[in-house]
Each structure stands twice: as C-alpha cells, then as structure tokens.
Amino acid sequence: MTESQTPTPSDPNPFGAPPVPPAAPTVPPAPAAAEVSAPAPASAPAAPAAPAGLDDGTYSELRTPRSASALALDGTWHQISPRYVVSQLLQNGLLVVAIAAAMIVLALVFDQTWAWIPGGILIVVTLITMIILPRQAKAVGYMLRADDIVFRRGIIWQRMVAVPYGRLQLVDITHGPLDRAFGVSQLKMVTAAATTGVQIPGLTQAAAETLRDTLIEVAETRRTGL
C-alpha cells in the first residue's frame, strides 16, 4: 500500500487547477488630440432692406422680354408710377401742338411750304413715341442688391446698369412743373465714371426721397469698408 503524497508548500498548483496567467500591464490611453475649429468664413454683406413706400402707386408687374432668363437677378424689382406715363403724354401732346402751330405759321404766313416736311416728320415720331410709351414705362425697374443697385429699361433696345454703392458720389432728385403737378420725380445717381450714371424716371415723390436716403446711408457704409 503506497503512501499518500502530501503536497509541499513549494508546489505552486497543489490542487491541479489551471495556472492563472499574469495580468497584462495597463497602458494609459493616449491623450485625445485637441480639436481645432476652423474659423467661420466671413459672411457677405446682406442686401439692404427695401424701405417701405417704394412700391406705393407703381406698376404691379415688370414687363420683360421673352429672353428674360438671361436677365434674371436674385432680388425684387421695383417699378415706377403710372402717373409718369400721363405726365409724359401731356408733355408730348403739348410738343405736337407747338410743332403744328410753328409749321402752320411758317407755311401759311411766311409762305415756307418746306416746313410741312420736317414738321410732319417730327409729329409722326412724337406720336409713335406716345403710343409705345406705356409699354416702355412697364419695362423700367430697379433692384437693390447686396453691393449695388441694378437699373433696367427697354424691351427691344435693352439697357441694364449696376451701380456699386461705394462708388456713388451724388444722388439728386429733379422734377419739372408737370412732374410736380402729377407728383412724380426723377432720381439721378452720379459716379466717378460718367458711363455708369443712372436716371430713374417716374418715381413718386415719397419713393424718390426714401430711395435717396437709403442709397446715401448704404453708400456711406460701403465707403467706410473700402
């Protein structure tokens, strides 16, 4: 009969249990990289808010040519007053009367029969102008954008001019006797370049004064930022 073996203290696994592997050394986590936020891009200057009163008593829809897609801009078109047409028709009517009177005096009193030819041509041209004037007036408009004011006119012969606010040197309002009688004015913008000068006809007196004050205020801001 064999003797039972007594486990010695030096035996690391006296009961036959599987050995326990030593714990792996803990490695401290690497510090997270500091997040660098990119600077926000500078925002573009916003378009000046259209002051109230610019569209009081004006046409409701701008007449544009069929190829208007090439002229479309990001903004709101403001138009002129229909009273401008009445004022211009009356002025042209008075011009026709004056031409006819001068033609009759030259032909009948002074026996200058040649006066019928130039006088007749001037009368015909003036009458044609009076006929197409209402259509032309509906094609006149202006738009306030972030950096400039855009003016357009014409259906067949089109003109579109953009005047930067920072280049404005003078904003002037003019009106003749008949214009004052019908309550319309003409606003003129003058810049350093004579070719970019713009005249907006047919504005109501209130709209002309409001637009003038707005342009002067925005022009001062743009010139300060130059």
CA gap 80, 137 in Å, rounded: 7
Report which of 85, 218, 107, 202 is spatially closest to residue 163, judged by C-alpha positions. 218
- Contact present, 178 and 91 (Cβ < 8 Å): yes
Global confidence as pTM: 0.70
Beta-carbon contacts of residue 211 (< 8 Å; ≥ 6 apart): 51, 54, 187, 200, 203
> How does pLDDT run along the chain (226 residues), one tens digit per residue?
444 444 454 454 444 545 555 555 555 554 444 444 445 455 556 767 777 778 888 887 777 655 444 445 667 899 999 999 999 999 999 999 999 999 999 999 999 999 999 999 999 999 999 999 999 999 999 999 988 999 999 888 888 999 999 889 899 999 889 999 999 999 999 887 766 678 999 999 999 999 999 999 999 888 765 5
- Contact present, 222 and 216 (Cβ < 8 Å): no
CA gap 190, 163 in Å, rounded: 9
Q: What pLDDT, on the 0 to 100 scale, is given for residue 59?
A: 82
CA gap 167, 196 in Å, rounded: 10
In the chain, count of helices (H) and strands (E)?
4, 7
State phi, psi for 139 to the nearest 5 degrees.
-95, 5
Q: Which amino acid is at 126?
A: T
Q: What pLDDT, on the 0 to 100 scale, is given for residue 42?
A: 55
- Three-state SS sequence of 121-168: HHHHHHHHHHHHHHHHHHCCEEEECCCEEEEEECCCCCEEEEEEHHHE
Q: What pLDDT, on the 0 to 100 scale, is given for residue 37?
A: 47
Compute how many other C-beta atoms are within 10 angstroms of the C-beta atom of residue 64: 17
Q: What pLDDT, on the 0 to 100 scale, is given for residue 70?
A: 43
In sequence order, what E strands does the chain have?
78-79, 141-144, 148-153, 159-164, 168-174, 184-191, 198-204
Q: What pLDDT, on the 0 to 100 scale, is given for residue 127?
A: 97
Domains contained in the chain, CATH given: 76-225 (2.30.29)
Q: What pLDDT, on the 0 to 100 scale, is given for residue 201?
A: 95
- The one-character DSSP state at 58 is S
